[in-house]
Structure 1
Amino acid sequence: MLLSLPRAATALAVGLTAVVATAVSPAAADARTWRDVSPPDSDGSVLFDVETAGGATWAVGSRSDATTRPFAPVALRWTGTGWQAPPQPADHGRLEELAVGAPDQVWAVGSRNELVGESDWDRGRALLQHWDGTAWSEVALPFPDGADATSLSAVDVDAGGSVWVYGGYADSAGEFVPVLFRGDADGGGGWTRLPANTGLNWVSQLEARPGGVLLAVGDGVSRFDGTSWTKQSLPPALDGAIFDGIEERTANDIWAVGHIRDDRLWRRPVIVRYDGRAWRTVRTPAETGQLFDIAFDGSGRPVAVGETMDPAVNPAGNYVLTPGPQGFLTRTEDPAGAGYLYGAAADAAGRIWTVGGTAGAEGGISPSAYAGIRR
Protein backbone atom coordinates (compact mmCIF):
# COMPACT_ATOMS: atom_id res chain seq x y z
CA MET A 1 0.00 0.00 0.00
CA LEU A 2 1.12 3.57 -0.56
CA LEU A 3 -0.38 6.96 -0.12
CA SER A 4 -0.37 8.86 -3.38
CA LEU A 5 2.69 11.05 -2.76
CA PRO A 6 6.10 11.41 -4.42
CA ARG A 7 8.45 8.68 -3.29
CA ALA A 8 10.91 11.19 -1.85
CA ALA A 9 8.86 14.13 -0.57
CA THR A 10 5.86 16.38 -1.09
CA ALA A 11 6.09 19.27 -3.54
CA LEU A 12 6.68 22.62 -1.86
CA ALA A 13 6.01 25.14 -4.59
CA VAL A 14 2.98 26.08 -6.69
CA GLY A 15 3.15 27.17 -10.32
CA LEU A 16 2.15 26.60 -13.93
CA THR A 17 4.57 25.02 -16.35
CA ALA A 18 5.46 26.65 -19.65
CA VAL A 19 6.34 23.90 -22.08
CA VAL A 20 8.51 23.54 -25.14
CA ALA A 21 7.00 21.52 -27.99
CA THR A 22 9.65 18.82 -28.12
CA ALA A 23 8.67 15.85 -30.27
CA VAL A 24 10.10 12.35 -29.94
CA SER A 25 10.01 9.44 -32.36
CA PRO A 26 6.39 8.62 -33.29
CA ALA A 27 4.87 5.41 -32.04
CA ALA A 28 5.07 2.38 -34.26
CA ALA A 29 1.94 1.30 -36.09
CA ASP A 30 1.78 -2.07 -34.37
CA ALA A 31 -0.17 -2.18 -31.11
CA ARG A 32 1.76 -2.22 -27.86
CA THR A 33 0.27 -4.74 -25.45
CA TRP A 34 0.73 -5.16 -21.70
CA ARG A 35 0.69 -8.48 -19.88
CA ASP A 36 -0.32 -8.54 -16.23
CA VAL A 37 2.26 -10.56 -14.28
CA SER A 38 1.32 -9.34 -10.81
CA PRO A 39 2.47 -11.53 -7.92
CA PRO A 40 -0.38 -13.61 -6.47
CA ASP A 41 -1.40 -13.36 -2.82
CA SER A 42 0.01 -9.84 -2.50
CA ASP A 43 -2.84 -8.14 -0.64
CA GLY A 44 -1.56 -5.13 1.28
CA SER A 45 1.58 -4.96 -0.86
CA VAL A 46 2.94 -2.36 -3.26
CA LEU A 47 6.05 -2.39 -5.45
CA PHE A 48 8.12 0.79 -5.67
CA ASP A 49 10.86 -0.12 -8.13
CA VAL A 50 11.81 -2.65 -10.80
CA GLU A 51 15.22 -3.17 -12.42
CA THR A 52 16.66 -5.68 -14.84
CA ALA A 53 20.18 -6.55 -16.05
CA GLY A 54 22.02 -9.63 -17.25
CA GLY A 55 18.79 -11.59 -17.47
CA ALA A 56 17.90 -10.87 -13.83
CA THR A 57 14.73 -8.92 -13.04
CA TRP A 58 13.81 -7.81 -9.52
CA ALA A 59 11.10 -5.70 -7.92
CA VAL A 60 11.03 -4.28 -4.39
CA GLY A 61 8.44 -2.72 -2.11
CA SER A 62 6.60 -3.35 1.11
CA ARG A 63 3.68 -5.23 2.64
CA SER A 64 1.40 -4.17 5.45
CA ASP A 65 -1.10 -6.33 7.28
CA ALA A 66 -1.93 -7.41 10.81
CA THR A 67 1.21 -9.58 11.03
CA THR A 68 3.76 -7.18 9.53
CA ARG A 69 3.11 -3.89 11.33
CA PRO A 70 4.20 -1.35 10.40
CA PHE A 71 5.61 -2.84 7.18
CA ALA A 72 7.55 -5.85 5.92
CA PRO A 73 10.15 -5.55 3.14
CA VAL A 74 9.33 -7.20 -0.18
CA ALA A 75 11.91 -8.27 -2.79
CA LEU A 76 10.73 -10.40 -5.71
CA ARG A 77 12.80 -12.19 -8.37
CA TRP A 78 11.31 -13.02 -11.77
CA THR A 79 11.92 -16.64 -12.75
CA GLY A 80 10.65 -16.38 -16.32
CA THR A 81 7.21 -17.67 -15.38
CA GLY A 82 6.48 -16.02 -12.03
CA TRP A 83 7.89 -14.31 -8.95
CA GLN A 84 9.94 -15.78 -6.12
CA ALA A 85 10.26 -14.07 -2.72
CA PRO A 86 13.55 -15.09 -1.04
CA PRO A 87 13.74 -14.53 2.75
CA GLN A 88 14.53 -10.99 3.86
CA PRO A 89 17.18 -9.97 6.41
CA ALA A 90 14.77 -7.49 8.06
CA ASP A 91 11.39 -8.58 9.40
CA HIS A 92 9.96 -5.06 9.50
CA GLY A 93 10.59 -2.16 7.15
CA ARG A 94 10.33 -1.31 3.46
CA LEU A 95 12.49 -1.35 0.33
CA GLU A 96 12.16 1.64 -1.99
CA GLU A 97 14.99 1.60 -4.51
CA LEU A 98 16.83 -1.13 -6.37
CA ALA A 99 19.94 -1.57 -8.51
CA VAL A 100 20.78 -4.67 -10.57
CA GLY A 101 24.32 -4.95 -11.90
CA ALA A 102 24.30 -8.70 -12.60
CA PRO A 103 22.36 -11.77 -11.41
CA ASP A 104 24.60 -11.97 -8.34
CA GLN A 105 24.98 -8.21 -7.80
CA VAL A 106 21.63 -6.84 -6.70
CA TRP A 107 21.28 -4.03 -4.18
CA ALA A 108 18.25 -2.52 -2.45
CA VAL A 109 17.81 0.38 -0.05
CA GLY A 110 15.06 1.33 2.33
CA SER A 111 14.46 1.33 6.06
CA ARG A 112 14.01 -1.19 8.84
CA ASN A 113 11.90 -0.78 11.97
CA GLU A 114 12.29 -2.22 15.44
CA LEU A 115 9.71 -2.63 18.19
CA VAL A 116 10.15 -0.21 21.10
CA GLY A 117 8.42 -1.41 24.23
CA GLU A 118 5.38 -3.61 23.82
CA SER A 119 3.58 -1.91 20.95
CA ASP A 120 5.50 1.13 19.64
CA TRP A 121 7.81 1.15 16.64
CA ASP A 122 10.90 3.28 16.21
CA ARG A 123 11.26 5.85 13.43
CA GLY A 124 13.30 3.40 11.39
CA ARG A 125 16.92 3.35 10.29
CA ALA A 126 18.82 2.87 7.06
CA LEU A 127 18.63 -0.53 5.40
CA LEU A 128 21.04 -1.63 2.65
CA GLN A 129 20.92 -5.20 1.46
CA HIS A 130 22.76 -7.27 -1.13
CA TRP A 131 21.79 -10.35 -3.16
CA ASP A 132 24.81 -12.54 -3.98
CA GLY A 133 22.99 -14.94 -6.26
CA THR A 134 21.90 -17.16 -3.39
CA ALA A 135 20.57 -15.05 -0.51
CA TRP A 136 19.95 -11.54 0.73
CA SER A 137 22.15 -10.11 3.47
CA GLU A 138 22.13 -6.78 5.27
CA VAL A 139 25.22 -4.61 4.64
CA ALA A 140 26.48 -2.08 7.19
CA LEU A 141 27.52 1.37 6.00
CA PRO A 142 30.12 3.49 7.85
CA PHE A 143 27.83 6.17 9.23
CA PRO A 144 29.65 8.35 11.80
CA ASP A 145 29.48 7.40 15.48
CA GLY A 146 26.42 8.94 17.05
CA ALA A 147 24.55 9.28 13.75
CA ASP A 148 20.81 9.21 14.42
CA ALA A 149 17.78 8.70 12.18
CA THR A 150 19.90 7.21 9.39
CA SER A 151 18.16 6.88 6.04
CA LEU A 152 18.85 5.78 2.46
CA SER A 153 16.94 6.98 -0.58
CA ALA A 154 18.88 5.94 -3.71
CA VAL A 155 21.26 3.27 -5.02
CA ASP A 156 22.86 2.49 -8.37
CA VAL A 157 25.59 0.28 -9.85
CA ASP A 158 27.90 1.65 -12.53
CA ALA A 159 29.35 -0.20 -15.53
CA GLY A 160 32.48 -1.06 -13.57
CA GLY A 161 30.53 -2.71 -10.77
CA SER A 162 30.93 0.06 -8.18
CA VAL A 163 27.91 0.57 -5.93
CA TRP A 164 26.71 4.08 -5.10
CA VAL A 165 24.40 4.71 -2.13
CA TYR A 166 22.87 8.04 -1.10
CA GLY A 167 21.22 8.88 2.20
CA GLY A 168 21.62 10.91 5.35
CA TYR A 169 21.48 11.10 9.12
CA ALA A 170 20.80 13.52 11.97
CA ASP A 171 23.89 14.86 13.77
CA SER A 172 24.16 15.66 17.48
CA ALA A 173 22.38 18.98 16.91
CA GLY A 174 19.54 17.27 15.08
CA GLU A 175 20.57 18.69 11.71
CA PHE A 176 20.25 16.54 8.59
CA VAL A 177 23.59 15.59 7.02
CA PRO A 178 23.58 14.04 3.53
CA VAL A 179 25.93 11.14 2.78
CA LEU A 180 27.19 9.42 -0.37
CA PHE A 181 29.00 6.08 -0.21
CA ARG A 182 30.80 4.14 -2.93
CA GLY A 183 31.67 0.46 -2.61
CA ASP A 184 33.03 -2.27 -4.85
CA ALA A 185 30.82 -4.83 -6.57
CA ASP A 186 30.32 -7.06 -3.53
CA GLY A 187 30.90 -4.50 -0.79
CA GLY A 188 33.81 -6.54 0.56
CA GLY A 189 36.45 -3.93 -0.23
CA GLY A 190 34.99 -1.35 2.11
CA TRP A 191 33.15 1.89 1.53
CA THR A 192 34.39 5.36 0.63
CA ARG A 193 32.44 8.40 1.75
CA LEU A 194 32.28 11.11 -0.92
CA PRO A 195 30.88 14.67 -1.05
CA ALA A 196 27.09 14.63 -0.82
CA ASN A 197 26.16 18.31 -0.97
CA THR A 198 24.11 18.01 -4.16
CA GLY A 199 22.45 21.40 -3.80
CA LEU A 200 19.13 19.55 -3.54
CA ASN A 201 17.00 19.20 -0.44
CA TRP A 202 16.59 15.49 -1.10
CA VAL A 203 17.56 12.83 -3.64
CA SER A 204 15.08 10.28 -4.93
CA GLN A 205 17.18 8.51 -7.59
CA LEU A 206 20.79 8.20 -8.78
CA GLU A 207 22.13 7.51 -12.26
CA ALA A 208 25.73 6.27 -12.22
CA ARG A 209 27.79 7.04 -15.31
CA PRO A 210 31.30 5.94 -16.37
CA GLY A 211 34.26 7.64 -14.75
CA GLY A 212 32.66 8.19 -11.36
CA VAL A 213 30.09 10.65 -12.68
CA LEU A 214 26.66 10.68 -11.02
CA LEU A 215 23.35 12.33 -11.74
CA ALA A 216 20.84 12.84 -8.94
CA VAL A 217 17.22 13.95 -9.03
CA GLY A 218 14.92 15.23 -6.32
CA ASP A 219 13.81 18.84 -6.05
CA GLY A 220 15.93 19.46 -9.14
CA VAL A 221 18.77 17.76 -11.00
CA SER A 222 22.42 17.72 -9.90
CA ARG A 223 25.66 16.32 -11.39
CA PHE A 224 28.69 14.89 -9.57
CA ASP A 225 31.97 14.95 -11.53
CA GLY A 226 33.87 12.76 -9.08
CA THR A 227 34.89 15.69 -6.91
CA SER A 228 31.96 18.06 -6.45
CA TRP A 229 28.29 18.53 -7.27
CA THR A 230 26.77 21.10 -9.63
CA LYS A 231 23.05 21.77 -9.55
CA GLN A 232 21.78 21.85 -13.12
CA SER A 233 20.09 24.86 -14.66
CA LEU A 234 16.52 23.96 -15.63
CA PRO A 235 13.97 26.09 -17.49
CA PRO A 236 12.69 28.86 -15.14
CA ALA A 237 9.11 27.67 -15.54
CA LEU A 238 10.10 24.46 -13.71
CA ASP A 239 11.03 26.22 -10.48
CA GLY A 240 9.49 24.04 -7.76
CA ALA A 241 9.30 20.89 -9.89
CA ILE A 242 9.85 17.52 -8.20
CA PHE A 243 11.70 14.74 -10.04
CA ASP A 244 11.52 11.06 -9.12
CA GLY A 245 13.08 9.29 -12.11
CA ILE A 246 16.06 9.75 -14.41
CA GLU A 247 17.34 7.74 -17.37
CA GLU A 248 20.48 8.32 -19.42
CA ARG A 249 20.46 6.97 -22.97
CA THR A 250 23.74 8.65 -23.91
CA ALA A 251 25.83 11.44 -22.42
CA ASN A 252 23.88 13.84 -24.64
CA ASP A 253 20.44 12.36 -24.17
CA ILE A 254 19.26 12.30 -20.55
CA TRP A 255 15.66 12.38 -19.36
CA ALA A 256 14.15 13.17 -15.95
CA VAL A 257 10.49 12.87 -14.98
CA GLY A 258 8.32 14.16 -12.17
CA HIS A 259 5.62 16.72 -11.52
CA ILE A 260 4.90 20.30 -10.54
CA ARG A 261 2.13 21.73 -8.39
CA ASP A 262 -0.69 23.35 -10.33
CA ASP A 263 -3.47 25.53 -8.90
CA ARG A 264 -6.03 24.07 -11.29
CA LEU A 265 -4.83 20.51 -11.82
CA TRP A 266 -3.25 19.83 -8.38
CA ARG A 267 -0.22 18.21 -10.02
CA ARG A 268 0.76 18.03 -13.66
CA PRO A 269 3.43 15.82 -15.29
CA VAL A 270 6.87 17.23 -16.02
CA ILE A 271 9.64 15.83 -18.25
CA VAL A 272 13.00 17.45 -18.99
CA ARG A 273 15.60 16.30 -21.51
CA TYR A 274 19.32 17.14 -21.72
CA ASP A 275 20.62 17.36 -25.30
CA GLY A 276 24.31 17.91 -24.58
CA ARG A 277 23.92 21.68 -24.29
CA ALA A 278 20.98 22.42 -22.01
CA TRP A 279 18.01 20.92 -20.20
CA ARG A 280 14.78 21.55 -22.08
CA THR A 281 11.16 20.85 -21.26
CA VAL A 282 9.42 18.04 -23.12
CA ARG A 283 5.77 18.77 -23.78
CA THR A 284 3.34 16.78 -21.64
CA PRO A 285 -0.46 16.84 -21.48
CA ALA A 286 -2.10 19.60 -19.44
CA GLU A 287 -3.92 17.20 -17.14
CA THR A 288 -3.69 15.86 -13.61
CA GLY A 289 -0.85 13.39 -13.30
CA GLN A 290 2.61 12.83 -11.88
CA LEU A 291 5.45 10.69 -13.17
CA PHE A 292 7.74 8.46 -11.14
CA ASP A 293 9.95 6.69 -13.69
CA ILE A 294 10.88 6.38 -17.35
CA ALA A 295 12.35 3.64 -19.56
CA PHE A 296 13.01 3.21 -23.28
CA ASP A 297 11.75 0.26 -25.28
CA GLY A 298 13.63 -1.71 -27.91
CA SER A 299 12.78 0.91 -30.54
CA GLY A 300 14.17 3.71 -28.38
CA ARG A 301 10.79 5.19 -27.54
CA PRO A 302 10.17 6.55 -24.04
CA VAL A 303 7.60 5.07 -21.70
CA ALA A 304 6.97 7.26 -18.64
CA VAL A 305 4.86 5.87 -15.80
CA GLY A 306 3.10 7.38 -12.82
CA GLU A 307 -0.33 8.06 -11.41
CA THR A 308 -3.33 10.31 -11.74
CA MET A 309 -5.82 11.24 -9.05
CA ASP A 310 -8.36 12.47 -11.60
CA PRO A 311 -10.89 9.78 -12.57
CA ALA A 312 -11.70 11.77 -15.70
CA VAL A 313 -8.11 11.14 -16.86
CA ASN A 314 -8.06 7.47 -15.84
CA PRO A 315 -10.31 5.98 -13.15
CA ALA A 316 -7.84 3.09 -12.66
CA GLY A 317 -5.18 5.57 -11.50
CA ASN A 318 -2.31 4.51 -13.76
CA TYR A 319 -0.72 7.20 -15.91
CA VAL A 320 1.46 6.15 -18.86
CA LEU A 321 2.87 8.57 -21.42
CA THR A 322 4.23 7.34 -24.76
CA PRO A 323 4.74 9.01 -28.17
CA GLY A 324 1.49 9.57 -30.04
CA PRO A 325 0.98 9.76 -33.83
CA GLN A 326 2.52 13.26 -33.98
CA GLY A 327 5.49 12.26 -31.85
CA PHE A 328 4.42 14.14 -28.71
CA LEU A 329 4.04 12.29 -25.43
CA THR A 330 0.45 11.51 -24.67
CA ARG A 331 -1.59 9.05 -22.61
CA THR A 332 -2.12 6.30 -25.17
CA GLU A 333 -1.72 3.17 -23.05
CA ASP A 334 -3.62 1.78 -20.07
CA PRO A 335 -2.17 -1.49 -18.69
CA ALA A 336 -5.06 -3.74 -17.67
CA GLY A 337 -5.26 -4.20 -13.91
CA ALA A 338 -2.76 -1.46 -13.12
CA GLY A 339 -3.36 1.27 -10.56
CA TYR A 340 -0.67 3.70 -9.48
CA LEU A 341 2.70 2.93 -11.12
CA TYR A 342 6.04 3.74 -9.47
CA GLY A 343 8.82 1.98 -11.39
CA ALA A 344 9.81 1.18 -14.97
CA ALA A 345 12.73 -0.61 -16.62
CA ALA A 346 13.67 -2.06 -20.01
CA ASP A 347 15.21 -5.52 -20.37
CA ALA A 348 17.68 -6.76 -22.97
CA ALA A 349 14.82 -7.81 -25.26
CA GLY A 350 13.45 -4.26 -25.29
CA ARG A 351 10.42 -5.13 -23.17
CA ILE A 352 9.20 -2.56 -20.64
CA TRP A 353 8.52 -3.64 -17.07
CA THR A 354 6.43 -1.55 -14.71
CA VAL A 355 5.37 -2.03 -11.09
CA GLY A 356 3.16 -0.37 -8.51
CA GLY A 357 -0.27 -1.16 -7.13
CA THR A 358 -3.36 -2.71 -8.66
CA ALA A 359 -6.43 -0.74 -9.66
CA GLY A 360 -9.13 -0.07 -7.10
CA ALA A 361 -7.23 2.15 -4.67
CA GLU A 362 -9.21 3.68 -1.84
CA GLY A 363 -7.96 6.80 -0.13
CA GLY A 364 -4.79 6.67 -2.22
CA ILE A 365 -3.91 3.16 -0.99
CA SER A 366 -3.47 0.34 -3.51
CA PRO A 367 -5.11 -2.99 -2.60
CA SER A 368 -2.24 -5.22 -3.81
CA ALA A 369 0.96 -5.28 -5.86
CA TYR A 370 0.96 -4.88 -9.63
CA ALA A 371 3.59 -5.87 -12.21
CA GLY A 372 3.27 -5.71 -15.98
CA ILE A 373 5.37 -6.37 -19.10
CA ARG A 374 4.96 -4.38 -22.31
CA ARG A 375 5.83 -6.28 -25.47
Structure 2
Amino acid sequence: MVSSQNSWHWDGHRLEARPAPAGIATGPSGELWGFDATSLVHWDGTAWQPQSEPFPDADQGGWRVNAIFPTGNTVWGVGGNVVKWDTGKPSTPDLPAPAQGFFGPDYYELTSVWASSPDDVWACGGTQVLHWDGHAWHRFHLPGPRLVAIAGSGHDVWAVGDLGVIYHLRGPDGRR
Protein backbone atom coordinates (compact mmCIF):
# COMPACT_ATOMS: atom_id res chain seq x y z
CA MET A 1 0.00 0.00 0.00
CA VAL A 2 1.30 3.47 -0.87
CA SER A 3 0.15 6.79 0.56
CA SER A 4 1.31 10.25 -0.41
CA GLN A 5 4.21 10.12 2.04
CA ASN A 6 4.88 6.47 2.84
CA SER A 7 4.65 2.94 1.60
CA TRP A 8 3.47 0.40 4.14
CA HIS A 9 5.25 -2.92 4.38
CA TRP A 10 3.90 -6.00 6.19
CA ASP A 11 6.72 -8.35 7.20
CA GLY A 12 4.39 -11.04 8.54
CA HIS A 13 4.40 -9.62 12.05
CA ARG A 14 3.93 -5.87 11.86
CA LEU A 15 3.06 -3.04 9.50
CA GLU A 16 5.88 -0.57 8.98
CA ALA A 17 5.83 2.86 7.27
CA ARG A 18 8.64 3.55 4.81
CA PRO A 19 9.32 6.56 2.58
CA ALA A 20 7.53 6.12 -0.74
CA PRO A 21 8.45 7.24 -4.24
CA ALA A 22 6.18 9.68 -6.07
CA GLY A 23 5.05 7.00 -8.51
CA ILE A 24 5.54 3.28 -9.08
CA ALA A 25 5.27 0.74 -11.91
CA THR A 26 5.72 -3.01 -12.20
CA GLY A 27 8.18 -4.46 -14.71
CA PRO A 28 7.59 -7.51 -16.92
CA SER A 29 9.12 -9.89 -14.37
CA GLY A 30 7.17 -8.41 -11.46
CA GLU A 31 9.95 -6.15 -10.23
CA LEU A 32 8.83 -2.86 -8.72
CA TRP A 33 10.24 0.46 -9.96
CA GLY A 34 9.52 3.96 -8.76
CA PHE A 35 10.57 7.54 -9.18
CA ASP A 36 10.86 10.45 -6.84
CA ALA A 37 11.72 14.09 -7.33
CA THR A 38 15.34 13.41 -8.19
CA SER A 39 15.91 9.86 -9.44
CA LEU A 40 14.75 6.39 -10.39
CA VAL A 41 14.40 3.87 -7.55
CA HIS A 42 13.97 0.07 -7.37
CA TRP A 43 12.36 -2.01 -4.62
CA ASP A 44 14.82 -4.67 -3.43
CA GLY A 45 12.29 -6.44 -1.20
CA THR A 46 13.23 -4.39 1.84
CA ALA A 47 13.70 -0.77 0.78
CA TRP A 48 13.70 1.59 -2.20
CA GLN A 49 17.21 1.75 -3.65
CA PRO A 50 18.44 4.56 -5.95
CA GLN A 51 19.06 3.21 -9.45
CA SER A 52 20.16 6.27 -11.36
CA GLU A 53 22.20 9.37 -11.27
CA PRO A 54 20.11 12.33 -10.11
CA PHE A 55 18.04 13.92 -12.85
CA PRO A 56 19.84 16.89 -14.44
CA ASP A 57 18.97 20.10 -12.61
CA ALA A 58 16.49 18.19 -10.42
CA ASP A 59 17.11 20.51 -7.49
CA GLN A 60 16.16 23.49 -9.71
CA GLY A 61 13.07 21.76 -11.12
CA GLY A 62 14.83 20.92 -14.40
CA TRP A 63 13.27 17.50 -15.00
CA ARG A 64 9.87 16.33 -13.94
CA VAL A 65 8.63 12.77 -14.39
CA ASN A 66 4.88 12.04 -14.45
CA ALA A 67 4.96 8.29 -15.18
CA ILE A 68 7.38 5.41 -15.80
CA PHE A 69 7.21 2.02 -17.51
CA PRO A 70 9.96 -0.62 -17.16
CA THR A 71 10.82 -2.95 -20.06
CA GLY A 72 13.51 -5.36 -18.96
CA ASN A 73 16.70 -3.42 -18.24
CA THR A 74 15.31 -0.21 -19.73
CA VAL A 75 12.94 2.11 -17.88
CA TRP A 76 11.08 4.84 -19.77
CA GLY A 77 9.73 7.96 -18.09
CA VAL A 78 7.60 10.82 -19.35
CA GLY A 79 6.78 14.35 -18.27
CA GLY A 80 7.75 17.47 -20.17
CA ASN A 81 10.04 15.17 -22.14
CA VAL A 82 10.88 11.48 -22.52
CA VAL A 83 13.54 10.04 -20.23
CA LYS A 84 15.26 6.70 -20.85
CA TRP A 85 17.32 4.82 -18.27
CA ASP A 86 19.47 2.02 -19.68
CA THR A 87 22.30 1.63 -17.22
CA GLY A 88 21.11 3.94 -14.49
CA LYS A 89 22.08 7.07 -16.40
CA PRO A 90 19.11 9.15 -17.60
CA SER A 91 19.08 10.37 -21.19
CA THR A 92 16.56 12.27 -23.27
CA PRO A 93 16.09 11.08 -26.84
CA ASP A 94 15.35 13.51 -29.67
CA LEU A 95 11.62 13.94 -30.19
CA PRO A 96 9.77 15.22 -33.24
CA ALA A 97 8.50 18.79 -32.99
CA PRO A 98 5.20 19.07 -31.09
CA ALA A 99 2.02 19.74 -33.04
CA GLN A 100 1.14 23.35 -33.77
CA GLY A 101 -1.55 24.49 -31.34
CA PHE A 102 -4.32 27.03 -31.91
CA PHE A 103 -2.44 29.68 -29.92
CA GLY A 104 1.01 28.90 -31.35
CA PRO A 105 3.49 26.07 -30.90
CA ASP A 106 2.35 23.32 -28.61
CA TYR A 107 4.67 21.55 -26.20
CA TYR A 108 4.87 18.08 -24.76
CA GLU A 109 3.19 17.49 -21.43
CA LEU A 110 3.27 13.72 -21.41
CA THR A 111 1.20 11.97 -18.77
CA SER A 112 1.49 8.26 -19.53
CA VAL A 113 3.88 5.73 -21.07
CA TRP A 114 3.48 2.05 -22.05
CA ALA A 115 5.80 -0.36 -23.85
CA SER A 116 5.55 -3.88 -25.20
CA SER A 117 9.37 -3.98 -25.50
CA PRO A 118 12.32 -1.57 -25.35
CA ASP A 119 11.79 -1.00 -29.10
CA ASP A 120 8.01 -0.45 -29.00
CA VAL A 121 7.24 2.42 -26.63
CA TRP A 122 4.14 4.63 -26.64
CA ALA A 123 3.56 7.86 -24.71
CA CYS A 124 0.71 10.35 -24.64
CA GLY A 125 -0.28 13.72 -23.28
CA GLY A 126 -2.20 16.73 -24.49
CA THR A 127 -3.57 15.76 -27.90
CA GLN A 128 -0.44 13.90 -28.94
CA VAL A 129 0.78 10.33 -29.00
CA LEU A 130 4.45 9.47 -29.45
CA HIS A 131 5.76 6.09 -30.64
CA TRP A 132 9.35 4.79 -30.40
CA ASP A 133 9.99 2.07 -33.00
CA GLY A 134 13.52 1.27 -31.88
CA HIS A 135 15.04 3.82 -34.27
CA ALA A 136 13.13 7.08 -33.95
CA TRP A 137 10.17 8.74 -32.24
CA HIS A 138 7.06 9.41 -34.34
CA ARG A 139 4.31 11.86 -33.38
CA PHE A 140 0.56 11.47 -33.95
CA HIS A 141 -1.70 14.44 -33.33
CA LEU A 142 -5.20 13.31 -32.35
CA PRO A 143 -8.26 15.55 -32.39
CA GLY A 144 -10.21 15.94 -29.24
CA PRO A 145 -9.67 16.48 -25.56
CA ARG A 146 -6.53 15.94 -23.54
CA LEU A 147 -5.12 12.40 -23.45
CA VAL A 148 -4.29 11.12 -19.98
CA ALA A 149 -3.37 7.43 -20.24
CA ILE A 150 -2.03 4.89 -22.72
CA ALA A 151 -1.78 1.09 -22.54
CA GLY A 152 -1.90 -1.85 -24.87
CA SER A 153 -1.20 -5.41 -25.80
CA GLY A 154 1.18 -6.19 -28.64
CA HIS A 155 0.45 -3.77 -31.47
CA ASP A 156 -3.00 -2.79 -30.14
CA VAL A 157 -2.63 0.44 -28.19
CA TRP A 158 -5.38 2.42 -26.47
CA ALA A 159 -5.14 6.11 -25.57
CA VAL A 160 -7.77 7.44 -23.15
CA GLY A 161 -8.65 11.07 -22.67
CA ASP A 162 -10.91 13.50 -20.92
CA LEU A 163 -14.65 13.33 -21.60
CA GLY A 164 -14.43 9.56 -22.09
CA VAL A 165 -12.53 9.73 -25.39
CA ILE A 166 -10.80 6.46 -26.34
CA TYR A 167 -8.54 6.01 -29.37
CA HIS A 168 -7.51 2.57 -30.62
CA LEU A 169 -4.16 2.71 -32.42
CA ARG A 170 -3.15 -0.39 -34.37
CA GLY A 171 0.23 -1.49 -35.60
CA PRO A 172 3.57 0.22 -35.36
CA ASP A 173 2.37 3.07 -37.60
CA GLY A 174 -0.45 4.06 -35.23
CA ARG A 175 -3.38 3.51 -37.62
CA ARG A 176 -6.72 4.42 -36.02
TM-score higher than 0.5: yes
**Pair 1:254 & 2:149 matched:** no
Q: What residue is the counterpart of 1:156 in the other structure? A: 69
- Classify 1:98/1:275 alpha carbon distance in 2 versus 1 (closer, same or farther; 3 Å): same
Aligned mate of 2:134, from 206, 226, 234: 226
Aligned-residue CA RMSD (Å): 3.2
**Pair 1:269 & 2:135 matched:** no
Per the TM alignment, residue 233 of structure 1 is displaced from its structure 2 partner at its CA by 4.2
Q: What residue is the counterpart of 2:149 in the other structure? A: 245
**Pair 1:75 & 2:1 matched:** no
Q: What residue is the counterpart of 1:210 in the other structure? A: 117
Per the TM alignment, residue 227 of structure 1 is displaced from its structure 2 partner at its CA by 3.5
Q: Determine helix, strand or coil for the equivalent of 2:45.
A: coil
Q: What residue is the counterpart of 1:373 in the other structure? A: none
CA deviations on 1:35-77 (whole Å, 9 max, x unpaired) are xxxxxxxxxxxxxxxxxxxxxxxx5451xxxxxxxxx2x3356
AA partner of residue 107 (structure 1): W
Please say which structure displays the higher CA radius of gyration.
1
- Classify 1:179/1:232 alpha carbon distance in 2 versus 1 (closer, same or farther; 3 Å): closer
Q: Determine helix, strand or coil for the equivalent of 2:46.
A: coil
Per the TM alignment, residue 218 of structure 1 is displaced from its structure 2 partner at its CA by 0.8
**8 Å CA contact retained: 1:208, 1:214:** yes
Structure 1 stretches of 4+ with a deviation exceeding 6 A read none
Q: What residue is the counterpart of 1:263 in the other structure? A: none
Query: How many equivalent pairs are there?
Result: 161
Q: Residues of 2 paired with 1:146 and 1:164: CA distance?
A: 17
**8 Å CA contact retained: 1:86, 1:136:** no
Matches within 5 A, 1:97-136: 97-101=23-27, 102-103=29-30, 105-111=31-37, 126-136=38-48
State TM-score, norm by structure 1.
0.37
**Pair 1:180 & 2:83 matched:** yes
CA deviations on 1:300-331 (whole Å, 9 max, x unpaired) are xxxxxxxxxxxxxxxxxxxxxxxxxxxxxxxx
Q: Residues of 1 paired with 2:19 and 2:59: CA distance?
A: 25
Per the TM alignment, residue 153 of structure 1 is displaced from its structure 2 partner at its CA by 1.3
CA deviations on 1:53-109 (whole Å, 9 max, x unpaired) are xxxxxx5451xxxxxxxxx2x335689xxxx655116xxxx62x3211245x31122
Q: Determine helix, strand or coil for the equivalent of 1:226.
A: coil
CA deviations on 1:246-298 (whole Å, 9 max, x unpaired) are 111221x2111121xxxxxxxx221111133622xxxxxxxxxxxxxxxxxxx
CA deviations on 1:99-121 (whole Å, 9 max, x unpaired) are 11245x3112243xxxxxxxxxx
**8 Å CA contact retained: 2:8, 2:18:** no
Q: Residues of 1 paired with 2:48 and 2:75: CA distance?
A: 16
Q: Determine helix, strand or coil for the equivalent of 2:138.
A: strand
Q: Which sections of structure 2, spanning at least 5 residues, go unmatched?
A: 99-106
- Classify 1:135/1:147 alpha carbon distance in 2 versus 1 (closer, same or farther; 3 Å): closer
Q: Residues of 1 paired with 2:7 and 2:92: CA distance?
A: 28
